[in-house]
Structures are given as structure tokens and as C-alpha cells.
Amino acid sequence: MMTSKAANYAKVLFSLGLKEETVQQTKQIFSESYELIDALDNPIIKEKDKEAVIERIFEKDIRGFLKVLCSNQCISILDKIFEAYETLVLDSKNIIAAKLSYVTRPNEAELEQIKDMLCDKYRKTGVILDLEEDTSLIGGYVLTVGDMEYDKSIRGTLSEMQKALVRR
């Protein structure tokens, strides 16, 4: 769940006009070192020490942003900020991201149909489709776009039937 704070910081990060590579490199560094997040989020560590670490590790362009996150004690939501930032980047390119969970992988023609449907429905020119095998679905698929989920799986159908029977 995206918080408004993370979304607002993502807008600020996007408005800085940094190279996407710089942001991705920063994301990579943080994803490889949870200790770094813990240290920068630790209220016991002095702010000047945190800033020294940021100066030493990160690209010049993104340092100021990271220092603001530290001083506002928001470094712990950095993963959500990056997630919202990536959505903004895709929106700026008129692309939408979606996730397709399936039991049997669709063929290329079916994948193209799904992408075309998403482009039409969301008025986008492109789709980044993340594919994931999920045998727990029993059959069918689940398509997730942002907060919307289209469940066309056997597991989802059985769950809906169970809910309907319980309501009786």
C-alpha cells in the first residue's frame, strides 16, 4: 500500500530530473544493504555522520534528496518511494506496468492480446508485463494493474463460491 508521504517524496525525486541510472543505482545499493537503511534510519546516529556516509557512497545528484529523507526520518520508506517513482517514470513515457500470474504460461499471441487490451483500457502506448508462474491458482490467471486485480483463476472462483455459500 502506497502512502501519500511516499508518493509525495517520489514526486519530488521525479521533479529533480535525475538520470534514471542514478536512481536505479541508488535503489540497488539500498537493496543490497539493509544495514545501511538501518544505520541511516537510526535516531541515535548523528545527522552529520549520516550525511558523511551519504557523501561517501552516493552520486552527487541524489545526495541532497537522501539527506532530506534522513533529516525527516523517512529513509525507512525508501522502497515505497522508489516504487512510486518508477510508476511516475512509466507514466511520463505513457507506459503501464502489470503483473500476470498464471499456471500455464500464455503464448506470445495471448500475451500480445493482453497488452493490447491493457493499452486500450488504460490509454497507454506500451505495457511492461511481469510474468509469474503460480501453481496455487489451480488454473486460469490473475492480472494485477496497480491496485486493481482481475482474478480469472480457479482458486478465485472457488473462493467466490465459498463466500456466496457462507452468506446464505
**147 vs 140: CA distance, rounded Å:** 20
pLDDT tens digits, residue range 29-82?
A: 999 998 999 999 999 999 999 999 999 999 999 999 999 999 999 999 999 999
Write down the pLDDT at residue 167. Answer: 83
pLDDT tens digits, residue range 134-162?
A: 999 999 999 999 889 999 999 999 999 99
**163 vs 160: CA distance, rounded Å:** 5
pLDDT tens digits, residue range 99-112?
A: 999 999 999 999 99
Q: Is the sign of the CA dihedral 116, 121, 123, 126 positive or negative?
A: negative
Grid cell, residue 28, equals 540497488
Write out the H or E segment, with its range, that includes residue 153: strand 148-153
- In the structure, what pLDDT confidence band is assigned to residue 168 with cuts at 50, 70 and 90? confident
For the chain, what are the domain ranges?
4-89, 93-167
Residue 165 has pLDDT above 70, yes or no: yes
Average pLDDT along the chain: 94
**75 vs 47: CA distance, rounded Å:** 13
The CATH class that applies to domain 4-89 reads: mainly alpha
Q: Is 132 exposed, middle or buried (0-12, 13-18, 19+ CB in 10 A)?
A: exposed
